[in-house]
Structure 1
């Protein structure tokens, strides 16, 4: 890992993630889940609408933010 990429990455749950991508995904999921909660009818299932919004935000985040991992396989024999 280069020095430049170490500055942009932070360790989360024993894995390194890009700070910019993490913030974008948090914003997208927060906006969609809060939007789902606020759009829900007053006396009917706002929790369900918020959960659907969170899942929708997760799907949008996985489409927009691509993985940056590169795996290399080395044969030890």
Structure 2
């Protein structure tokens, strides 16, 4: 398999989000994790006015932390010298 074939295959599995390429599978996993933690925290909150919002926000932060631990960045940096 040539380098172009590998790149074309990787491009099919990625989508562009905020000018960055994101692997679709990783995006779906992180969306599910954050949705479950946010909704779960919201549903277990007491029914007093500010508490569901606070619990939901804490659940979203917990979901973000879990996602950032489970899903590692795949970005690689290459430094190319410019020739004049």
Name the TM-score class by shorter chain: over 0.9
| Partner SS for 2:48 | coil
Question: What is the aligned partner in structure 1 of residue 62 from structure 2?
Answer: 56
Stretches (4+) displaced over 2 A? 74-77
Question: What is the aligned partner in structure 2 of residue 30 from structure 1?
Answer: 35
Q: TM-score, normalised by structure 2?
A: 0.85
Larger Rg: 2
| Partner SS for 1:72 | coil
Alignment of 1:74 onto 2:80: yes
Unaligned runs of 5+ in 1: none
Unaligned runs of 5+ in 2: 1-5
Q: TM-score, normalised by structure 1?
A: 0.92
Counterparts of 1:13 and 1:75, CA distance in 2: 27
Counterparts of 2:77 and 2:48, CA distance in 1: 50
Q: Deviations over 1:31-60 (max 9, x none)?
A: 000001001012251000000000000000
